[in-house]
Chain A
Amino acid sequence: MGSPDRESGTSANNWDWEKGKRTIVQSIAPKEEDLWQEEAYAAPDGESFAAVVRLEDESFTLRVNDGRWEETFEKVWYPRFAPDGRLTALVMADDEWTVAVDGEAWEERFAFAWATTFGPNGAIAASVQQDMRYACCLNGAPWENMYENAQDYCFSADGKKTAGVVQVKSLKQADLDGFRSGIFTVAVDGEAWDQSFMNVWTPVFDGRDNERVAAQARLNAYDYTIVVNGEPWAATYNCVWEPVFNPATGVLAAPVRQGGRWGVAFDAAMNWPASLYQCWGLQWSRDGKNLWAVVAPEYGKFTVACNNKPWAATFPVVTELALSPDGTRAAALACHANKDYKVVVDGKPWQGSWDMAWQPVFSPDGAHVAALVEKGGKKTYLVNNLPLDESFTEAWTPAFSPDSSSLLLRGVQNNALVRVVLPLKDIH
């Protein structure tokens, strides 16, 4: 149910944007001849859905609309559409695992493969293990070097490289000294940095040239910092969260904790003073002028801040921060203990509260916002602070047309998969 990513190869230009509702599949209900059918996933363009099915011979495959993948497997799970519409799943045959894309399994097989992820320009990666060695497998090609453990993969901005956290030495049982000696680092395309650390988390590429990678690191039990291409910042902190590169200037920003409060450091110098009770989920605008974050200016009171200016309204929990394409506007979800969800746009909560809500989506021109919400088991969409009349038993996040004139809804009504294109001028 993920939303199509604006930067990861979605070609919404080619989708059908003609106004109206089309039934794609009359019934997505399980077919009698199958033993069972699992959850449905809709393609980003709404033209198909997929679900794992177990066949009478107890093998597994994917149902796609009213057809099926030809090949069957001993096990299939994690069906996910790539942003460009290709359908992937994790599959096992002859006790070996790999990723299948549009029904074709990658040639390389592994003792285990999991956690398919999608990157820019059609990149598909998965975590793989062979002979108890771990690596990232990008578009079917695993890193040449495999490690004692590897996780937390990310893509470069062109989708050609991957980086991940790797464990470069093994540990004996309760090997405290081994752990303290620093056995974790980042590998880029399988090449580990020379320096290693006690802990490393969440590597990220500098998207300008994909030559720099930064990550959170713990240097010893108490000192945290950010490392860039293996070099730690000169400053250390009580704690840090995920760093992000400014896409225009390359400045590296990270939430850092000092004296029990959070702020944001830019290239190791404090920029937002450490006065916040929480600060995470940093996002730069594409022009690099605005830095947004989820923050708690007071204990228990969360909101969104831009360039260290928090919105006035605060909430017990704030999640799913989304920026407009030009980075001047933001939307997020607010809730209390996972209930009473509200969509908050530019600091103002929209009317109504919901049992669940999904990340709001901005139109390409930044003028409109839409979000999928759920109440009492029914899903509907909010557009510019108004709920649509259509409701669905299942639905997926909305998408705007490239010219920002229409909205695509994908959902299930009376068991049928439908696809609705609504011109924005027709809404209310």
Chain B
Amino acid sequence: MGIADRRIEDGNLMQAVAKLTPEKIKAAYELVTKGEAGARLSTYYQSCMRCGMCAQACHFSISHPDDPSYTPVGKMDQTMWKLIRQKGEVTPDEVYGMAQIAYTECNMCKRCVHYCPVGIDTGFITSLVRRFCYRLGVVPTYILDTAHSHSAVMNQMWVKQDEWIDSLIWQEDEARGEFPNLRVPLEKEGAEILYSVIAPEPKFRTQLIYQAAAIMHEAGLDWTMPALPGWDNSDMCMFVGDSEMMGRLKRCHYEMAQRLKVKRIVMGECGHAFRSVYDTGNRWLGFKDWPVPVVHSVEFFWELLTTGKIKIPKKFDKPVTIHDPCNITRGYGLMDKLREVVHMLCDKVVEMSPNREHTICCCAGGGIINCGPPFKSVRVAGNKAKADQLAATGVEYLVAPCHNCHGGLEDIIGHYKLGMHTKFLGDLIYQLMEKTRAE
């Protein structure tokens, strides 16, 4: 079994491979493997023993136990290892399969790194395969459209500048119904905190902006939101393999904070955007560290709750479980703070097993959910492992501090009829906090 047996039609994948020539494929291969990847790739290639230990790690292979082509090594074998073996001489059809694997069958969640005796990072290999595919234009339609949007308007959802500001003013007006003096301070130079979000918030989830404003207001914080481009911290360009545009986006994001002279950026509950600011985008720009610190909501809420700026008079009394988003826990170590926050909010917490840095991915991250409807079935079938894990907790509520995780988990919950409800930390805090400044 292999990728050729499960081909899914996607308009741009089909259109792009039709234009490929052996020369173009070879040139993209040379650029990525020789020009960009460097020694790390050849070290991985030479040290992979084909031992198969990683098979136990990946939710795709756990969910497809009889099909080795879903294992991390199986996926590398069908993509980068094949490219290296054949010195870039692969057919357009094979490139289609490589793109399908890289964009829709690996979340770059890096769980397999922990299982590999020699520490091979399949997520990194996948990012190189995506870069190779991107250089050939072989990218699924929907995620490529979000990358185009990023390049045109500096956010992933084609939100125009006035629409963004209007959403903020609208949410400020709405929130004033509950907190009469609430402000969403726009473009306030010198604020302690700049709050940034991902573009789906003004587009589909404006209540999250309302909730964030309510929390900031109740905590009495000196904060601001930007009115100009750079407000969207997300980065689909990172996921399609467009490193240049990823860098442009991160520059815009950091320069917005530098222009406003804020002390730090606090970002909403998103995992991949966090990776793009602490790991990938900053480094592409030449920074070793980040030029402006970015605090993920988990850490920010932990601060608010432990310092008493936000008080929880009565905890959520229904049992909850916790999903650890890969980019902020395995990638950044926020698992303890996440637990402390959830325990401060909820009476009864039932842990999933495995959890923390061994968390099983939501299967939406890494841009897979952004590849759109054609690949939804891949995501839900590829994560029966997570569905089993969720079901084993026996609880009704699931806390997941990441947008992509939310989307992916909701799809799994629906498909496997788990009858669970997902919550952001912000949902719980807004619902439970003492509202001393409310009407």
Contacts and interface: CB of A to CB of B under 8 A. Distances in A.
A binds B: yes
Interface in A91-116: 111-112, 114-115
Interface stretch (A32-40, A206-214, A360-368, A410-418): A32-40
Nearest to A41: B189
B137 to A, nearest CB: 6
A155 B176 CA distance: 38
B152 interface: yes
A21 interface: no
Contacts of B290: 337
B165 A114 contact: yes
Contacts of B189: 1, 39
B162 A129 contact: yes
A173 B145 CA distance: 9
Given A239-B244, A278-B286, A299-B288, A176 B161 contact: no
A356 B261 contact: yes
- Which of B144, B152, B293 has most chain A Cβ within 10 Å? B152
A195 interface: no
Interface string A152-174: 00000000000000010001011
A202 B325 CA distance: 37
A277 B160 CA distance: 32
A277 B185 contact: no
A318 B99 CA distance: 39
B169 interface: yes
A38 B183 contact: yes
A1 B292 contact: no
Interface string A240-281: 000000000000000001011000000000000000011010
Contacts of B148: 176, 179
A199 B149 CA distance: 10
Nearest to B285: A278
B314 to A, nearest CB: 31
Given A174-B141, A355-B263, A218 B151 contact: yes
A338 B166 contact: no
A259 to B, nearest CB: 7
Nearest to B242: A221
Contacts of A336: 289
Contacts of A218: 151
Nearest to B176: A58
A302 B141 contact: no
A63 B188 CA distance: 17
B293 A338 contact: yes
A316 B293 CA distance: 13
Contacts of B160: 129, 134, 149
A337 B288 CA distance: 10
A184 interface: yes
A277 B291 contact: no
B135 interface: yes
A296 B288 contact: no
B285 A316 contact: no
Interface in A342-365: 355-356, 358
B161 A316 contact: no
A229 interface: no
A222 B132 CA distance: 12
A406 interface: no
A38 B251 CA distance: 29
B287 interface: yes
A134 B35 CA distance: 42
B12 interface: yes
B35 A260 contact: yes
Given A75-B169, A134-B160, A319 B258 contact: yes
Nearest to A355: B263
B90 interface: no
Interface string B128-169: 000000110100011011001001110000101110011001
A215 B145 CA distance: 23
A139 interface: no
Contacts, number: 114
B152 to A, nearest CB: 6
A236 interface: no
A182 to B, nearest CB: 11
Contacts of A300: 286-289
B263 A356 contact: yes
- Which of A39, A198, A238 has most chain B Cβ within 10 Å? A39
A127 B293 contact: no
Nearest to B144: A176
Interface in A16-34: none
A239 B36 contact: no
Contact of A127 (B162, B183, B244): B162
A288 B289 CA distance: 35
- Which of B141, B162, B190 has most chain A Cβ within 10 Å? B162
B229 interface: yes
A260 B283 CA distance: 12
Given A174-B142, A317-B287, A78 B161 contact: no
Contacts of A175: 145
A47 to B, nearest CB: 20
Contacts of A173: 145
A134 B152 CA distance: 15
A39 B224 CA distance: 11
A257 B160 CA distance: 29
B250 to A, nearest CB: 12
A72 interface: no
A337 B289 contact: yes
Contacts of A167: 152
Contact of A78 (B137, B162, B187, B287): B187
B152 A184 contact: yes
A292 interface: no
A39 B188 contact: yes
A224 interface: yes
A300 B258 CA distance: 18
A92 to B, nearest CB: 9
Q: Which 9 A-B pairs have the closest CB atoms?
A: A300-B288, A278-B286, A112-B162, A277-B286, A174-B145, A296-B286, A239-B244, A338-B292, A317-B291
Given A239-B247, A257-B244, 17 more contacts: A36-B183, A39-B185, A75-B169, A114-B161, A134-B160, A149-B160, A167-B152, A174-B372, A176-B145, A176-B148, A179-B148, A221-B134, A280-B251, A300-B289, A338-B293, A339-B293, A356-B263
24 contacts: A1-B261, A75-B169, A77-B186, A114-B165, A134-B160, A149-B160, A151-B161, A151-B229, A174-B141, A174-B372, A176-B11, A218-B151, A221-B137, A260-B36, A280-B251, A299-B286, A299-B288, A300-B288, A302-B286, A316-B288, A316-B291, A337-B292, A338-B257, A356-B261
Interface of B: 11-12, 35-36, 134-135, 137, 141-142, 144-145, 148, 151-153, 158, 160-162, 165-166, 169, 181, 183, 185-190, 227-229, 242, 244, 247-248, 251, 257-258, 261, 263-264, 285-293, 372
Interface of A: 1, 35-36, 38-39, 75, 77-78, 111-112, 114-115, 127, 129, 134, 149, 151, 167, 171, 173-176, 179, 184, 198-199, 218, 221-222, 224, 238-239, 257, 259-260, 277-278, 280, 296, 299-300, 302, 316-317, 319, 335-339, 355-356, 358, 374
